[in-house]
Chain A
Amino acid sequence: MYAFKYEKPWSLAAAAALLSESGDAKLLAGGQTLLPAMKLRLAGPSTIIDLSKVPGLSGVTREGDNLVIGALTKHVEVMNSAEVQKSIPALAHLVSVLGDPAVRNRGTIGGSLANNDPSADYPAAVLALNGTVHTNKRKIAADDFFKGLFETALAADEIIERVSFPVPEKAGYEKFRNPASRFALVGVFVAKTKDGVRVAVTGAGESGVFRVKEMEAALAKDWSPKAIEGVKVSASGIIADLHGTADYRAHLAGVIARRAVAKAG
């Protein structure tokens, strides 16, 4: 780890001010990606802004037809939340298979989304549920938020406050793990909301999480695994590495999507 300056602001405004002052400052939420990267000297931010004392960033609430989760809410809190289990059980399941107990006890939804790892679980849920990312500056729709590999629409001085999810009629998440890292080799979140059907695939895309519109159209007509049997996910733009060829991951996206639909019921 390289030496860095440590800040612990007590308000969101102070955090944002610190963030805009320093060119390469990093926000610290759960630190489950940032800290290992710093220990390996793969990241060396000049300043760390610890968000743990900023009030109002944590917790789960139901607001009308939306489930709202604070950015600093830990995975384990989402997993165990009665409200999440009632409103979007697929989301509670997603968090239960995210990382390991150590990660779930520290990692946060805001940290995961801001990092936008192409193999992370949460982006699939946000995109498939057509969630909204609320920041200190604006609201960003899921379709506009994920911009590519480890890239988001967040501006340099922008901080996620919370994420809202429309409560779906049906939703399911299925994940096939990378045998080494246990991240998603392919993870698919399917959801049917009043706005329509969405299918989001994580782990497979060279540019991160993506939607499969053909599956969405097919499922809109007939919500069943069979309905998407004929839909092929193209292997172009799909990650190919030691753990799986692009053909394999593209094929797996179909298999896992069907299983996610079956799970959603």
Chain B
Amino acid sequence: MSATGIGAAVRRKEDQRFITGTGNYTSDITRPGEVRAYFVRSPHAHATIDKIDVSAAKRMPGVVDILTGADLAGDKIGGLICGWAITSKDGTPMKMGAHPAIAADKVRCVGDAVAVVLAETLLQARDAAEAVQVDYGVLPAVVDPAKATAKGAPQLHDVAPNNLIYDWHLGDKAATEAAFAAAKHVTKLDIINNRLVPNAMEPRAAIAEYDQGNDALTLWNTSQNPHVARLVISAFVGMAPEHKLRVIAPDVGGGFGSKIFIYPEEVVALWAARRVKRPVKWVSDRSEAFLTDAHGRDHVTHAELATDANHKITGLRVHTIANIGSYMSTFSSSVPTYLYATLLSGQYAIPAIYAEVDAVYTNTAPVDAYRGAGRPEATFVVERLVEVAARELGLDPAEFRRKNFVTSFPHQTPVIMTYDAGDYDASMTKAMEMIDYKNFGKRKAESEKNGKLRGIGFSTYIEACGIAPSQAVGSLGAGVGLWESAEVRVNPTGSVEILTGSHSHGQGHETTFAQLVSDRLGVPIDTVSIVHGDTDKVQFGMGTYGSRSGAVGMSAISKALDKIEDKAKKVAGYMMEAAADDIEFKDGKFTVKGTDKSVGWGDVTLNAYIAHKFTGGQLEPGLKEGAFYDPTNFTFPAGCHLAEVEIDPETGKITIANWVAVDDFGNIINPMIVEGQVHGGIAQGVGQAMLEGAHYNADGQLVTGSFMDYAMPRAADLPSFKVDTTVTPCPSNPLGIKGCGEAGAIASPAALINAITNAVGHENVPMPATPSVVWKAAQGGMKKAAE
């Protein structure tokens, strides 16, 4: 292993600019003559728009124009769409309501845009926005997904009676019912997977510019996938043809899924820029972000697990109501279906599984993918069921898991997935050693002496990443393929530019991708630059989400590097008058096999371009290759998280005493970056389990609309994590990578709630387990113990 190659903990190249304030984020960009956009947003969760009067506002200082939903419709700008078609049990397609970028007739959540003010300054735009007069006819609202389909509930979209978008199912119902009928024991749980607000450090932003001479538009935005944004805005919104629309996602300060989607504001910015013929800039403030970024999770689930007399799991069934919010966001339909129910087998050999999912509209912000996207919800269901079942059966939770782990591969689950490789016992055993599981009892006794409760909880999770084989996802309803592209451009002097569709917004691609190139070509890492995020530079790409950049994006780079190597060998062959097949390439040196004749990387790259050693008939000059890589399977990262907590029963305060994570991510390019991903993921999962929760009141007002009420995890809430890995290389991609970006967020909520419930002695602890909740639970638990 070289100091900068695969497996080296190279410090992140991009951090120099990020930590010295020299990054280039969308809001850092200023275009000449730009106007600022400020949206007039609905204060009501559900209302008809009876009248909008912009006349007074238009006369205010600095106002350039004020546009409404009627103007948008007049210009025939299309609405936003959800790009994954889900079919209900009865074969009918999902019922997608229209989603205009500015509401025209009706608002469906607080924060729904009803007009946009364009002014010389942001302050002027804000002042004028307050002067826009909107007459609303306020309607009753529904925010609770469990109540959305009830008789008499307020109706959001005419196309979706009873607010039901789809009722979908997966698995074998009859086989599962039979398994439950024959079960020796059934464990039942009611679970609410709490709604989360993503809260990336950088709020969303967009700048749109219209080039009148070329009738072309450019959009700078905070996107995880600029090409997909261009495709949707072009093909579905109908803004401009793809070749007349350039989308640039420069430095992006975190996304966690929330910046995958195509949002109303960027559509409006483009449309408005063309109308007023000036660049239009919009930057979300944090309050807007709380209201308008797509939220995550929000499931209401009943789940059951069947076991036989030998403590083998024989069946699992769930019924989930998934809150989609007021409109279907870009990939919202796929999250509670194919990203959720397909993972309900967990790490276990379960013969029969049946899942039913009802997706419903409510008067809340749209819900879509958020770090883990469906897989945290599945893991929470499975890992809570398994832990509770073990407790009910009087078994050690590790033993119960061991008895039911999948141990031979490939393993076909009853819910689509074929697990390719893994060693679940290895990661759990290692985690148990690291946390000193066998002495937990002693630590618990010590805590009890001090009047504290102590608990330990497992989460042996699995996820499907490396998203995804295009043909497979196409057959499941995806509107796009999920391959990735790469182009390798070698310059005459030997430096290398990698163009990739994998956008980096915190993941460290500029370092890890360069490590791959350094490793393969034997060039210094500083001579490799990673180019991404601009549709004019990178031909096409599918973007970064679903822990896919390593497994899919780097595999595409690897494929292109194969081609570079082949071509370079040919050039070296002409230079040394040898056949290309006789050339060996190692550590940046081309050698004629069995001789001491060799040429270096720089000589070969220069010769590829000066083309003096070969004729045009023999070889094309230049050194540039591209590749598209389409995975043949999902990847299956898996592992074990163990959480140990100490609870003060008097106050309900939780102290996380120990946290161990042993993950199998397959081969690892940069262990330091992987560890960072695990840390961040755990922080988000701990946030979900004990701090974060988006709460709407019955009127549809977001009560947790700022950090005063929405508790983000802080360093002081977290322990020092003990993190390690086990490795079973992924067999389906050339680098053996499984992906690591979401594991922490997927695994950790179940581990923490399992630990808390273990400490308080009963299972009724909802998320977020705030001190108030835990105190109440501890009272109940202590009462139970006293009885």
What 1/0 mask marks residues of chain A from 226 to 261 whose CB sits below 8 Å from any chain B CB? 000000000000000011110010011001100000
Tell which of B123, B770, B775 touches A179, judged by Cβ atoms closer than 8 Å. Answer: B770
A185 lies within 8 A of chain B by Cβ: yes
Q: Is A243 in contact with B772, judged by CB distance below 8 angstroms?
A: yes
User: Given A248, A255, A256, which contacts B776 in the complex, CB threshold below 8 Å?
Assistant: A248
Residues of B contacting A181 with CB < 8 Å?
707-709
A179-B771, A180-B708, A180-B710 given as contacts; is B287 within 8 A of A255 (CB)? no
How many residues from B make CB contacts under 8 Å with A?
Answer: 26
CA A243 – CA B712 in complex, angstroms? 13
Contact of A40 among B127, B287, B772 (CB under 8 A): B287
Q: A40-B287, A176-B651, A180-B711 are known contacts. Are A242 and B771 too (CB-CB below 8 A)?
A: no
Chain A CB within 8 A of B703 CB: yes
Q: Which single member of B693, B704, B710, B771 contacts A244 (CB below 8 Å)?
A: B771
Q: A248 near B703 (CB under 8 angstroms)?
A: no
Shortest CB–CB separation between residue A4 and chain B, in angstroms? 13
Asked if A180 and B707 sit within 8 Å, CB to CB, the answer is yes
Give complex CA distance A1, B652 in Å: 39
In the complex, what residues of A have CB within 8 A of residue B651's CB?
176, 252, 255-256
B775 touches A242 (CB 8 A): no
Distance (whole angstroms) from the CB of A184 to the closest CB of chain B: 13
> Given A179-B691, A180-B707, A248-B776, are A185 and B650 also a contact pair (CB < 8 Å)?
no
The distance in angstroms between the C-alpha atoms of A11 and B645, with both chains bound, is 56
A220 to chain B, nearest CB (A): 24
B127 surroundings in chain A (CB, below 8 A): 2
Given A176-B651, A179-B691, A181-B709: A242 touches B776 (CB 8 Å cut-off) = no
**Residue numbers in B under 8 Å from A40 (CB-CB):** 287
- Interchain CB contact under 8 A, B709 and A176: no
Q: Would B709 and A242 count as touching, CB distance under 8 A?
A: yes
CA distance A77 to B113 in the complex (A): 46
Is there contact, CB below 8 Å, between B776 and A179? no
Contact assessment for B709 and A248 in the assembled complex, using a CB-CB cutoff below 8 Å: no
Residue of A nearest to B693 (CB): A242
- From the candidates B123, B691, B704, B775, name the one contacting A251 in the complex (CB within 8 A): B775
- Kindly list chain A residues whose C-beta atoms are within 8 Å of the C-beta of B776: 245, 248
Residues of A within 8 A of B548 (CB): none
* B695 on the A face (CB < 8 A): yes
Assuming A176-B651, A248-B772, is B704 touching A242 (CB within 8 A)? yes
Contacts of A180 in B (CB 8 A): 691, 704, 707-712
In the bound complex, residues from chain B placing their C-beta under 8 Å from that of A41 are 126
Cα distance, A255 to B651, chains bound together (Å): 7
Q: B772 touches which one: A1, A2, A245 (CB < 8 A)?
A: A245
CB neighbours (8 Å) of A251 from chain B are 775
Question: Is A176 touching B771 in the complex (CB atoms < 8 A)?
Answer: yes
B-chain residues with CB within 8 Å of residue A242 when the two chains form the complex: 693, 695, 703-704, 709
User: Which of chain A's residues has its CB closest to B697's CB?
Assistant: A242
Taking the closest CB of chain B, its distance from the CB of A222, in whole angstroms, is 21
- In whole angstroms, what is the CA distance A239 to B349 when docked? 49
Taking CB atoms, residues of chain A closer than 8 Å to B653 are 176
- Chain B min CB distance to A124 (Å): 18
A244 nearest CB neighbor, chain B only: B772
Chain A interface size, under 10 / 10 to 19 / 20 to 34 / 35 or more: 10 to 19
Q: Which residues of A contact B707 (CB under 8 A)?
A: 180-181
Residues of B contacting A185 in the complex (Cβ-Cβ under 8 angstroms): 771
Contact B711 A179 (CB under 8 A): yes
Residues of A within 8 A of B287 (CB): 40
Interface residues of B in 650-664 (CB under 8 A from A): 650-653
CB distance from B377 to the nearest CB of A (A): 22
| Shortest CB distance B199–A (Å) | 12
- Separation of A2 and B123 alpha carbons in the complex (Å): 8
A-contact 0/1 string along B707-719, CB 8 Å cutoff:
1111110000100
Question: Which residue of the partner chain B has the closest CB to A248?
Answer: B772
Q: Please name all residues of chain B whose beta carbon is closer than 8 Å to the beta carbon of A256 when the two chains form the complex.
A: 651
A243: B residues at CB distance < 8 A: 709, 770, 772
A-chain residues with CB within 8 Å of residue B712 when the two chains form the complex: 180
Taking the nearest CB of chain A, how far is it from the CB of B786, in angstroms?
18
0/1 string, A171-185, CB within 8 A of B gives 1 = 000001001110001
Query: Which chain B residue lies CB-closest to A185?
Result: B771
With A and B bound together, what is the CA distance between A202 and B776 in angstroms? 22
User: How many angstroms from the CA of A243 to the CA of B768 in the assembled complex?
Assistant: 10
- Give chain B interface residues in 286-306, CB to chain A under 8 Å: 287
Closest residue of B by beta carbon distance from A1: B123
Nearest A residue to B703, CB-CB: A242
Question: How far is A242 from B712 in the complex, measured between Cα atoms in Å?
Answer: 15
- Shortest C-beta distance, A66 to chain B (Å), equals 34
B709 nearest CB across to chain A (Å): 5
Task: Report the separation of the CA atoms of residues A252 and B648 in the bound assembly, to the nearest whole angstrom.
Answer: 12
A181 to B706, CA, bound (A): 9
Distance in angstroms between the alpha carbons of A264 and B265 in the assembled complex: 56
Q: How far is the CA of A101 from the CA of B372 in the complex (A)?
A: 34
A185 to B123 CA separation, bound complex (whole angstroms) = 36
**B residues in contact with A244, CB < 8 Å:** 770-772
Cα(A181)–Cα(B123), bound, Å: 28
How far, in whole Å, are A46 and B126 apart by their CA atoms in the complex?
18
CA distance A243 to B693 in the complex (A): 11
Chain B 110-131, CB-CB to A under 8 Å as 1, else 0, gives 0000000000000100110000
Measured CB to CB, the closest approach of chain B to A187, in angstroms, equals 13
Q: Which residues from chain A contact B775 at a C-beta distance below 8 Å?
A: 248, 251-252
How far does the alpha carbon of A185 sit from the alpha carbon of B707 in the complex, in Å?
15
A1-12 interface mask toward B, CB cutoff 8 Å, 1 = contact, 0 = none? 110000000000
> What is the CA–CA distance of A40 and B123 in the complex, to the nearest angstrom?
12
Chain B nearest CB from A40 CB (Å) reads: 7
What residues of A have a CB within 8 angstroms of the CB of B708 in the complex? Answer: 180-181
In the complex, what distance in Å separates the CA atom of A227 from the CA atom of B658? Answer: 36
* Residues of chain A contacted by B772 (CB below 8 angstroms): 243-245, 248
Contact pattern, B 760-778, Cβ under 8 Å of A = 1, otherwise 0: 0000000000111001100
The proximity string for A residues 23-41 relative to B, scoring 1 for CB distances below 8 Å and 0 otherwise, is 0000000000000000011
Residues 142-178 of A contacting B (Cβ, < 8 Å): 176
Q: Closest CB-CB distance, A152 to chain B, in whole Å?
A: 22
Which of B650, B693, B703, B717 is A255 in contact with, Cβ under 8 Å?
B650
Specify which chain B residues have a CB less than 8 angstroms from the CB of A245 in the assembled complex. Answer: 772, 776
Q: Min CB distance, A50 to chain B, in Å?
A: 21
Hey, which chain A residues are within 8 Å of B710, CB to CB?
180
CB-defined interface of B77-91 with A at 8 Å, one 1/0 digit per residue? 000000000000000
Alpha-carbon separation in the docked complex, A41 to B650 (Å): 40
- 1/0 contact string of B579-614 vs chain A (CB within 8 Å): 000000000000000000000000000000000000
Nearest CB of A to B129, in Å: 11
A40 to B287, CA, bound (A): 9
In the complex, what residue of chain B is closest to A182 when comparing beta carbons?
B714
Give Cα distance in the complex from A256 to B712, angstroms.
Answer: 24
Q: Could you tell me which residues of chain B, from 700 to 735, have a CB within 8 Å of some CB in chain A?
A: 703-704, 707-712, 717
- In the complex, A187→B717 CA distance in Å? 20
Q: List 18 A-B contacts (CB under 8 A).
A: A176-B651, A176-B653, A179-B691, A179-B711, A179-B770, A180-B704, A180-B708, A181-B708, A185-B771, A242-B693, A242-B703, A242-B704, A244-B771, A248-B652, A248-B772, A248-B776, A251-B775, A252-B651
Given A180-B704, A180-B712, output 10 extra A-B contacts at Cβ < 8 Å: A176-B771, A179-B690, A179-B717, A180-B710, A181-B707, A181-B708, A242-B693, A243-B772, A251-B775, A256-B651
- List the 3 shortest-distance A-B pairs measured between CB atoms, nearest first: A180-B711, A244-B772, A179-B711
